[in-house]
Chains A and B, each alone.
Chain A
Amino acid sequence: MSGTGNIVTRLPFPTAARRELGDEQLRRNLRKATHTIRDKRLRVVGEVPDWEPLRFAGAAIKDDVLARLPFLLEQFEAAATAAGATVHWARDAEEACAVVADLVRATGTAEVVKVKSMATQEIGLNEALAAVGINAVETDLAELIVQLADDTPSHILVPAIHYNRTQIRDIFARRMPGVDVDALTDDPPALAEAARRHLRARFLSTKVGISGANFAIADSGTLAVVESEGNGRMCLTLPETLISVVGIEKLLPTFRDLEVFLQLLPRSSTGERMNPYTSLWTGVTPGDGPQTVHIVLVDNGRTDTLADPVGRQALRCIRCSACLNVCPVYERVGGHAYGSVYPGPIGAILSPQMSGEGANRTLPYASTLCGACFDACPVRIDIPQVLVHLRQSGVDAARGRPSAERTAMRTMSFVMRDRRRYAAALRAARRGAAPLRMVAGRRGAIRHLPWPLSAWTSSRDAPLPAKQTFREWWTREHSS
């Protein structure tokens, strides 16, 4: 069953990218932010002598999870239930939202506090709750900025990466209820203080908390959230009811496995040696924390992804966003160009697989296959390999439909598989280019080519074929 919700792009990537490329401020913000995190990450990763073995361990544990997913999910459900939680299953975004909305409505409350969670962004939970009259308050600072701006996140870890602090000050001044506009500067501590005041009132009064989870431990039914601000811990401990929305691939077999990921995740994501807050919760503990705990396990296209032997490695992803921060394409266009809540290189392979054939078909081409993402990935997802694999699936699915590109590829393949045809084609290209020499510039370069090669000459000159091909030269040299 294909996934639904905020993983399906509405615009083809090149169109969306063109719009974002026009925003100079965005590009400056992104460049500064991604380079800062990427340098920090490189530094702290360099401190760990066994980083490469850790990456292999992370990949191996996740592959084991994927190989035994049905068993581990049942084990998790049994353990969590025994600990006092109620486990729910959702096939897609709509089902997951409906389950959560019903659970919140049953409490009789009209406001919930939320920990930053990719799963709830993915299923479009805030919008679904709003539709039934429930106000969801984001408590992560960046997530709050995006919510107040009526915008969508553009980065997995730093949802407001596309804003600078002056822009954030303006958003707070205009949209934050009860903010002291005159006292508010764009100084980061002042902004944090304003957010703290705004949020604390909600933490102390709201009866329902909603979270995601970074990891779900199968043998104990434990969920884990790692975060930097402490807002997560507030949401996980203060409300009476806690609802955790978790993708089914988040499992780890045992508590011991967490050790590997608590090393890999913080260094890869924020460039920290250790994240400031790690919260673990297992069902219900009488007199301590939420007394009603629900866990919603979401598929939303994950079993479809699991069915593909090459593409399934995308499910190893621990949402660290290291691939975004090193990606030269992401750096220029930002997250919104990818359409899905999962942007950047991981999004380019995850979103099309989760949403099924047809949708998101331009995303696997949103990469130069430079490989920086694979090197940065803490669980060794070979993103370039999966991108090429998805391009292949797309091409195979469209076989039979006429396309200029396919005709060109077929023709070239036919010509190039035979030495004589190939040599004749090279000769023809060389001769055909001869008149162009007259119009070429001083370096022998061409400024304008007709469509479709005009895409090339839009920003760069094109070279001309040489006056003699290599094989012509070789044959002449060795003919005597």
Chain B
Amino acid sequence: MRIALFVTCVNDLMFPDTGKAVVTVLERLGHEVEFPLDQTCCGQMHANSGYREEALPLVANFVKTFSEYDAIVAPSASCVAMVRESYPRLAPSAELSSVAGRTYELSEFLVDELGVTDVGARFPHTVTYHPTCHGLRMLRLGDRPRRLLEAVEGLTLTPLEGAEECCGFGGTFALKNPGVSGAMLADKCTAIRTTGAEFLAAADNSCLTHIGGGLSRGDAPVTPIHYAQILAAQ
């Protein structure tokens, strides 16, 4: 099976450690990972902001780059949701639907395709998990990330009140409606602090950037972390 890593543009520039973590986990499980350098951005920001025409060249680039792989794995629920849910709507074609069907969020790939929940990680810390909206309601990731985290040695998972409520990021929403976004963020940060966890894990670095920015502004002693990095830790 030829596995390609789609690292996403946000991770490439801001959070390269998340991409490295995916490579570490998959290699530890005995798989070889390829990183096609032609990849750029999935076009989600353009499409969701209404710029369909500007999104289409990015969609075409994604399809061209990844068409030859058996599985495309990405550490981002929202980018995978874009590929799987929105690509076929933006530009319906057989080629596109085929790539969409082979694109997996990391936890789906590990649990459903590889049949693994214990990836041999060790992370002796308290962690609370925020199921990001697109992972929760577009990909229906369900308890997959949670099962992976629960199998990590030494990790204590603490419940998060109102976990399923949006953090207020929403891409350009945070810039177009900063007040409402900030109010939603404040409530999310309060809930996270209440857990007493050392780490806040999620499946999307974009949401983590938003929540992390709020925690940092409030000087909360909680570190945002992509769950792939917990799975890579030993």
List chain A positions with a Cβ less than 8 A from chain B. 13-14, 17-18, 21, 27, 328-329, 332-333, 364-372, 374-375, 385, 388, 390-396, 405-406, 409-410, 412-413, 416-419, 422-423, 426, 429-430, 441, 443, 445, 447, 452-453, 455-456, 458-466, 468-471, 473-475, 478
Contact = CB atoms under 8 A, between A and B. Distances in A.
A328 B163 CA distance: 12
B179 A471 contact: no
Contact of B12 (A388, A394, A464, A470): A470
A371 B46 contact: no
A416 B9 contact: yes
B2 interface: no
Given A416-B9, A469-B13, A471-B35, 15 more contacts: A17-B180, A332-B184, A333-B180, A368-B169, A369-B170, A371-B137, A409-B46, A412-B41, A413-B43, A418-B40, A445-B212, A456-B175, A460-B210, A460-B213, A473-B19
B114 interface: no
Interface stretch (B51-59, B95-103, B196-204): B51-59
Contacts of A429: 13
A21 B54 contact: no
18 contacts: A328-B184, A369-B133, A391-B49, A392-B51, A395-B49, A395-B51, A396-B50, A412-B41, A412-B45, A417-B58, A445-B212, A461-B213, A466-B14, A466-B16, A470-B7, A471-B35, A473-B19, A474-B19
Contact of B13 (A409, A452, A465, A478): A465
**Chain A at the B interface: SS class:** helix
Between B35, B43, B210, the greatest number of chain A beta carbons within 10 A of the residue's beta carbon is seen for B35
Contacts of A396: 50, 52-53
Nearest to A362: B176
A10 B171 CA distance: 26
B37 to A, nearest CB: 6
A326 to B, nearest CB: 9
A233 B216 CA distance: 56
Best-buried of B40, B86, B165 by chain A (most CB within 10 Å): B40
A462 B213 contact: yes
Interface in B154-175: 164-166, 168-175
B182 interface: yes
A332 B180 contact: yes
Contacts of B172: 365
B42 to A, nearest CB: 10
Contact of B35 (A329, A459, A474): A474
Given A406-B51, A413-B46, A475-B37, A459 B182 contact: yes
B43 to A, nearest CB: 8
Contacts of B134: 371
Given A452-B175, A465-B13, A469-B16, A459 B54 contact: no
Contacts of A328: 165-166, 168, 184
A421 to B, nearest CB: 9
B214 interface: yes
A465 B55 contact: no
A422 B14 contact: no
Interface string B4-21: 000101011111110110
B173 to A, nearest CB: 5
B181 interface: yes
Nearest to A452: B175
Given A328-B166, A456-B213, A461-B217, A466 B180 contact: no
B185 interface: yes
B20 to A, nearest CB: 7
Please give me the 3 A-B residue pairs with the lowest Cβ-Cβ distance, nearest first.
A368-B170, A460-B213, A391-B50
Contacts of A375: 137
A388 B50 contact: yes
B51 A459 contact: no
Contact of A459 (B165, B185, B209): B185
A425 B58 CA distance: 16
B180 A422 contact: no
A463 B226 CA distance: 15
Interface in B185-234: 185-186, 209-210, 212-214, 216-217
B218 to A, nearest CB: 9
A14 B176 CA distance: 7
A469 B186 contact: no
A371 B81 CA distance: 12
